[in-house]
Amino acid sequence: MTDILMPALSPTMEEGTLAKWHVKTGDAVRSGDVIAEIETDKATMEVEAVDEGVIEAILVPEGTEEVKVNTPIARLGAAAGTGAAAPPPAPPIPPPSVPHVTPPAEATAPEPSHDAPTPPAATVTGRRTTVRDALRDAMAEEMRRDETVFLMGEEVGQYQGAYKVSRGLLEEFGARRVIDTPITEHGFAGLGVGAAMAGLKPIVEFMTFNFAMQAIDHIINSAAKTLYMSGGQITCPIVFRGPNGAAARVAAQHSQDYSAWYAQIPGLKVVAPYDAADAKGLLKAAIRDPNPVVFLEHEMLYGQEFDVPEDPDWTVPIGQALIRRPGRDVTLTAHSRMVGLALEAAEVLSKQGIEAEVVDLRTLRPLDRATIVESVKRTNRIVSVEEGWSPMGVGAEIVATVAAEAFDWLDAPPLRIAQADTPLPYAANLEALALPSVDRIVEAALKVCYR
């Protein structure tokens, strides 16, 4: 007798919906038979039996949501005719089932592993929405509003988006405006830029920004520089968007944070939102912006839920940082996923009597230097947090700004928290060591407070 366990279908999946059973109690199954369908917020996949026998019991009925990975979902007995005596119970084989469809290499975003504290300074009210759906809603609303807006990229149409961000767009807007491209980043980025030069407003999705390195010549040389080189004649209203930074256990080539790379380029605007409200409001602003915008999302945030205002015309201006949590003792700057860690660190610090002010950068170019500098003038201390590497990075720019513009207000040397100066390792323990953590942020904050 063997328990069939809820399988993990991607590196970051923690739970899913048992959508359908293809077998019932008493059915004989053989290795390779499809026995069930499982849905996550990202994909639907079939589960195959990996052993043969008879289904003795269905433990989780179909339609059950939020089934945790490794929960027993059915019990498999010995195949009929293999003998009267029941075999001794076998230990569960983790994982007992394999997905029938190979999931994409990238992972489904997990549910938040912790409850993000509600930032008193930045509360928005509205409907609970995942970052994933907020991005989709932003694109759908702008495509309804402006006929020249269209989406192109790998798997954005029929597949519904490699991370389901474009779910439903093909059905609503058709193949003319939701264009599945071949796997040719350099080429389709160039096509997008050319279409933008002709006056359309493409949204070019990169499955991840790691793959955009193939296309970076068009992002920088063609999109960012042509307005200048043409004396203002050729505009390029385009958005390059997709997940940036480290997902989970996908190793160095799939885990890079490109914030500093793009934020260095005059002619580009660079946006990196944290919550769903910003994801939606900033993406709408990016699509409406007449300039090329690099829009850096984060896979680990896609599944997280936040309140999003229901006003369909709600946008967030590019170029304004947001104080997510006010505090008098130390400034923590962060963008994208690191904002969540900074907020969590602030809670830990608060218990130790230190009130951290968390500044969500939101836009990296143009950088809202004034908000950072004013915050440091109040707190006299700063720790910058970024997921990318520290040398020549976002934190380097912030610290230089503070040194130049708030030198006399500083009570301690600024500190930077960043990824270890190595390619990102695969092994779970090394990966955790390499990436910024709440503990490291807390430690740095204590240090600049001389505690």
> Does residue 188 touch other proteins according to CB under 8 A?
yes
Cα–Cα distance, 269 to 287 (Å, whole number)? 11
Q: What is the 3-state secondary structure (H, E, C) of 281-309?
A: HHHHHHHHCCCCEEEEECHHHCCCEEEEC
> Does residue 353 touch other proteins according to CB under 8 A?
no
> Does residue 319 touch other proteins according to CB under 8 A?
no
Give the list of residues 6+ apart from residue 360 with CB closer than 8 angstroms, or none.
122, 274, 278, 321, 322, 323, 324, 334, 335, 339
Contacting residue, 97, 129, 130, 222, with other proteins by CB under 8 A:
222
Contacting residue, 47, 78, 195, 382, with other proteins by CB under 8 A:
195
Burial of 428 (0-12, 13-18, 19+ CB in 10 A): exposed
Q: Is the peptide bond before 120 cis (omega within 30 degrees of 0)?
A: no
Q: Which residue has tokens 């080539």? A: 253
> Does residue 213 touch other proteins according to CB under 8 A?
no
> Does residue 192 touch other proteins according to CB under 8 A?
yes
> Does residue 289 touch other proteins according to CB under 8 A?
yes
Could you tell me the smallest distance in angstroms from the CB atom of residue 199 to other proteins? 7
H/E segment holding residue 382: strand 382-389
Contacting residue, 67, 234, 251, 420, with other proteins by CB under 8 A:
234
Distance of CA 76 to the CA centre of its chain: 38
Contacting residue, 88, 231, 311, 450, with other proteins by CB under 8 A:
231
Contacting residue, 17, 235, 401, 437, with other proteins by CB under 8 A:
235
Contacting residue, 150, 258, 302, 306, with other proteins by CB under 8 A:
150
| Residue 77 one-letter amino acid | G
Burial of 168 (0-12, 13-18, 19+ CB in 10 A): middle
Could you tell me the smallest distance in angstroms from the CB atom of residue 184 to other proteins? 4
> Does residue 172 touch other proteins according to CB under 8 A?
no
Cα–Cα distance, 149 to 227 (Å, whole number)? 20
Contacting residue, 45, 197, 286, 323, with other proteins by CB under 8 A:
197
Options 120-128, 220-228, 378-386, 409-417: segment touching other proteins (CB under 8 A)? 220-228
Query: Which residue of the set 254, 298, 335, 374 is catalytic?
Result: 254
Q: Which residue has tokens 């989970």? A: 248
Options 41-49, 261-269, 386-394, 435-443: segment touching other proteins (CB under 8 A)? 261-269
Judged by CB, which is closer to other proteins: 186, or 377? Answer: 186
Q: Does the annotation mark 185 as catalytic?
A: yes
Could you tell me the smallest distance in angstroms from the CB atom of residue 337 to other proteins? 27
Q: Does the annotation mark 335 as catalytic?
A: no
Give the list of residues 6+ apart from residue 64 with CB closer than 8 angstroms, or none.
17, 18
Could you tell me the smallest distance in angstroms from the CB atom of residue 318 to other proteins? 9
> Dihedral of CA 324/329/335/339: which sign?
negative
Residue 300 near residue 112 (C-beta atoms within 8 A): no
H/E segment holding residue 48: strand 44-48
Judged by CB, which is closer to other proteins: 138, or 216? Answer: 216
Beta strands 356-360 and 330-334 are parallel
Query: Which residue of the set 106, 185, 205, 387 is catalytic?
Result: 185
Binding site for other proteins (CB under 8 A): 150, 176, 181-182, 184, 186-200, 217-218, 221-222, 226-235, 237, 266-267, 269, 288-291
Residues annotated catalytic, as ranges: 185, 254
